């Protein structure tokens, strides 16, 4: 068996449209573990957000969280890797986003990166307001004109579905990693995720690979959105579920949708019958 590690995205890939993992996919994860295959989830969620959708005994070994800003060993709860944006860079990003009248959230450093300060531009932005409602106990408004005064795990700007505007903003931050993600809330808005320039799901996976002595050919990845592109491009055994955007389906092997146990379909294609 040449595949030593299986890495799946969470929302829209392993989780179905009701936010659950199918019985078929759960059994597949258990079988992978029984066969000595390392199981990892690579998600845009923080560790806190991850615990809101999956139980503590879920059959996964590693969590690559916040799009690769950190890596957690789920068996020991040890934080293996973490990155942050410097205080100086945070202030520059905040100033630029306010200048462009963008709604954004500045997340505290890991491991408290489910907490954030937010800035409202005054534009109509229901997706932004929905995320604020979800995190109401963990967020407070950012005061314009006051220095932020801290490093940050990431900054998330929530935009309407306007790729041209996203690209224009992205070019304002050439020294940082800017990742495009489709909102998991309304399925349409663009989340512009800003990180230190060495952050990606692929680099998070690579951190585990180095620790375990696994090469790129020994990794299978599966995703559904633009924030999965780094890992899908980096590892040769890559799949996308059929609910992914067409431009991803044109580049990678397509399996069944997240509502039809697409994860298990990908594992079957990569391994044959376990």
* Fold classification of 87-195 (topology level): 3.30.1240
Please report which helix (H) or strand (E) contains residue 180, including its range.
strand 177-182
More confident residue, 150 or 243: 243
Q: What are residue 8's DSSP bridge partners?
A: 41, 222
Domain boundaries, the chain: 5-82+199-271, 87-195
- Residue 214 DSSP label: -
Task: State pTM to two decimals.
Answer: 0.93
- Across the chain, mean pLDDT equals 96
The CB density around residue 150, as the number of other CB atoms within 10 Å, is 15
- Residue 183 DSSP label: -
Domains 5-82+199-271 and 87-195 share a fold: no
The domain over range 5-82+199-271 is classified in CATH as 3.40.50.1000:
yes
3-state secondary structure of 102: coil
- pLDDT at position 145 is 77
- Give the gyration radius of the chain's Cα atoms: 18
| Distance from the first to the final alpha carbon of the chain | 10
pLDDT in tens, 215-234: 999 999 999 999 999 999 99
3-state secondary structure of 172: coil
Question: Rounded distance, CA 194 to CA 178, Å?
Answer: 5
**Which contacts qualify for 92-97: CB closer than 8 Å, 24 or more apart?**
93/155, 93/173, 93/176, 93/194, 94/119, 94/142, 94/148, 94/155, 96/172, 96/173, 97/155, 97/157, 97/169
**85: its two tokens:** 């944006």
pLDDT in tens, 87-109: 999 999 999 999 999 999 999 99
Q: Reply yes or no on whether the pLDDT at 47 is more than 90.
A: yes
Please report which helix (H) or strand (E) contains residue 231, including its range.
helix 229-234
């Amino acid at each position: 068996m040449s595949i030593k590690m299986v890495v799946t995205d969470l929302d829209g890939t392993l989780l179905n449209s009701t936010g659950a993992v199918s019985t078929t996919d759960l059994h597949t994860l258990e079988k992978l573990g029984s066969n000595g295959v390392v199981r990892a989830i690579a998600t845009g969620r923080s560790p806190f957000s991850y615990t809101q959708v999956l139980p503590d005994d879920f059959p996964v070994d590693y969590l690559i969280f916040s799009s690769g800003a950190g890596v957690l060993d789920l068996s020991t709860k040890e934080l293996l890797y973490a990155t942050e944006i410097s205080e100086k860079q945070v202030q520059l990003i905040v100033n630029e986003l306010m200048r462009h009248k963008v709604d954004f959230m500045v997340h505290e450093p890991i491991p408290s990166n489910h907490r954030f300060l937010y800035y409202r531009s005054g534009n109509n932005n229901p997706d932004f307001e929905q995320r604020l409602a979800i995190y109401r106990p963990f967020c407070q408004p950012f005061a314009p004109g006051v220095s932020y005064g801290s490093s940050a795990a990431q900054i998330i700007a929530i935009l309407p579905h306007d790729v041209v505007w996203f690209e224009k903003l992205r070019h304002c931050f050439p020294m940082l990693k800017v990742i495009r993600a489709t909102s998991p809330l309304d399925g349409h808005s663009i989340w512009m995720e800003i990180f230190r320039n060495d952050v990606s799901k692929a680099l998070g996976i690579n951190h585990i690979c180095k620790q375990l002595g696994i090469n790129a050919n020994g990794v299978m990845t599966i995703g559904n959105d633009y924030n999965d592109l780094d890992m899908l491009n980096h590892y040769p055994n890559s799949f996308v579920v059929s609910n992914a955007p067409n431009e991803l389906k044109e580049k990678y092997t397509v399996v069944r949708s997240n509502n039809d146990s697409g994860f298990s379909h990908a594992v079957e294609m990569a391994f044959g019958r376990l």
